[in-house]
Amino acid sequence: MLLGDGRLSHDIDPTDRGPQDACGVFGVWVPADDAGEAEVSKLTYYGLYALQHRGQESAGIAVSDGARIVVFKDMGLVAQVFDESVLNTLRGHIAVGHCRYSTTGSPTWENAQPTFRSTDGGSLALVHNGNLINTPELAARLEPGRLTATTDTEVLTALLAGRPGQGSAESPARGGMSIDAAMEILPVTRGAFSLVFMDERTLYAARDPEGVRPLVLGRLERGWVVASETAALDIVGAAFVREVEPGELLAIDEDGVRSQRFAEPRPKGCLFEYVYLARPDTTISGRSVQATRVEVGRRLAREHPAEADLVIPTPESGTPAAIGYAEASGIPYGQGLVKNSYVGRTFIQPSQTIRQLGIRLKLNPLREAIEGKRLVVVDDSIVRGNTQRAIVRMLREAGAAEVHVRISSPPVAWPCFYGIDFATRAELIAGNLSVEEIRTSLGADSLGFISLDELIAASQIAKDRLCRACFDGVYPIRVDEASRGKHLLEVAQTRS
């Protein structure tokens, strides 16, 4: 589908979207005398490349050489936005980068990140993964006309840059922002936020008190990296040091890494990161995402066994759980669906005829592997059910004798307000139908979801330290009705 700016979206059918990831954030600091050798813009490019799964609408990098900040951003994938010539113009020793999927504000160039603000003492560039839930309240602190975009990130950037970087004896200014400004604004910011931002001389990182979205700290041979996932540390050769703690603010410069608490930690890490969002080669809270997903598959097999001849995944997100299911059930694991690796960017807008082919543009069955077989098909989640319905129909047309669908997460019945762009509750199939009704809708011979308790057990994290709101409707941070909605700032500006 063509976007308004002529770029091509990754949706074949805009009415059939799965859970959309929030964003990927990355930041790097190296000593100024290593800037030329380190090429921080290229490190950031590769870091964002590793985080591309978290957002595909836009990408951007900001770089500081100690005197000024330069920002380059555009709509599209990381590899579409940046090339060698662009990266060669982004020179400095500090960088922050972002790949975006919009959860507040429309997918436009103005809303792409990093956001940038000039201050009396310099300037500030910021990237954000998550979603704030008191954006109107925060925006009310700003004078009219201060916002140039319609995102919660723009509001936060304007507030952080609103105070001159004068600093104090305890927290001197290092560029366009003082630590005092962050320590004033962050405690009144509610919702999910993993932030990486910088002024001319210092790299900062902060994580909300609940720690909903991930953020990690890594060490280069000479320098530091912060990123959404450990996989991004791996790709740039950084050693994992630790997670940025919930309620923690880090400042990184020539004096090293300094840490301050702006709030008491109340850990509520997102359980859906284990189900779908994070890369399988990422580690969260000391637990490999791949290992967790395989264990979920084992537990799913014990909770919902099936008489079948073959276990197949829905590529790629269902693969680890399918491996675990096959291992625990003793049913052979095989490939029954082939994914088109290049479908992420189509070069024509699908006509109605092509769209009716639906899932075949993404997946095609291996008829010789599935014909006459009783199949267990493992997928990570069901949102609207359109994809799974098409897969069941396609497998039957290819000769499958039976199709038993197994899902490695509980039913997604509630929307997320913390950085995942789920459908509204009315659009979520599990928000309206029972499991049996969903099975009938999909046309499957049987349907089984892993229970919430078993999914939590596989994560090896205590239940009270996880956000499970999309599964059980228990929101760890209360969301006012007025603060809900992707386009709330645009609506507010229209009204004013």
pLDDT digits 0-9 by tens, 17-61? 444 446 999 999 999 888 877 899 999 999 999 999 998 889 999
- Known binding residue 309? Answer is no
- How high is the pLDDT of residue 161? 86
Q: Where in the chain is the domain with CATH 3.40.50.2020?
A: 288-463
Looking at the DSSP bridge assignments, the partners of residue 195 are 128, 206
- Known binding residue 409? Answer is no
Residues 6+ apart with CB under 8 A from 50: 227, 229, 231, 232, 234, 235, 279
- How high is the pLDDT of residue 77? 92
Distance (Å) of CA 71 to CA 91, 120, 127, 201: 11, 19, 12, 15
What integer best gives the mean pLDDT of the chain?
A: 86
pLDDT digits (tens, 9 = 90+) for 98-119: 998 765 555 567 788 999 998 7
Q: What is the rounded distance in angstroms from the CA atom of residue 69 to the CA atom of residue 122? A: 9
- How high is the pLDDT of residue 6? 35
Assign 122 a pLDDT band (cuts: 50, 70, 90).
Answer: confident
Assign 433 a pLDDT band (cuts: 50, 70, 90).
Answer: very high
Q: Between 148 and 189, whose confidence is greater?
A: 189
pLDDT digits (tens, 9 = 90+) for 290-338: 999 999 999 999 999 999 999 999 998 899 999 999 999 999 999 999 9
Is the pTM higher than 0.85? The answer reads: yes
Average pLDDT on 276-281 reads: 94
Q: Which member of 23, 48, 161, 328 is catalytic?
A: 23
Residue 169 CB neighbours (<10 A): 5
Please state which of the ranges 81-90, 91-100, 143-152 shows the lowest mean pLDDT: 143-152
% of the chain exceeding 70 in pLDDT: 83
pLDDT digits (tens, 9 = 90+) for 340-392: 876 554 444 455 555 556 677 788 999 999 999 999 999 999 988 988 999 99
Residues 6+ apart with CB under 8 A from 302: 328
Phi-psi region of 425 (alpha: psi -120 to 50; beta: other; left: phi over 0): alpha
The CATH class, in words, for 23-268 is: alpha beta
Assign 169 a pLDDT band (cuts: 50, 70, 90).
Answer: very low
Token duo for residue 329: 């059930």
Check pLDDT > 90 for residue 142: no
CATH of 288-463, one of 3.20.20.140, 3.90.105.10, 3.50.50.60, 3.40.50.2020: 3.40.50.2020
- Known binding residue 99? Answer is no
Assign 151 a pLDDT band (cuts: 50, 70, 90).
Answer: confident
Torsion of CA 163, 169, 175, 179, to 10 degrees: -60
- Known binding residue 118? Answer is no
DSSP labels, 253-274? ETTEEEEEESS-----EETHII
- How high is the pLDDT of residue 219? 98
- Known binding residue 467? Answer is yes
pLDDT digits (tens, 9 = 90+) for 395-427: 999 999 999 999 999 999 999 999 887 668 888
Average pLDDT on 134-158 reads: 81
Residue 99 annotated as catalytic = no
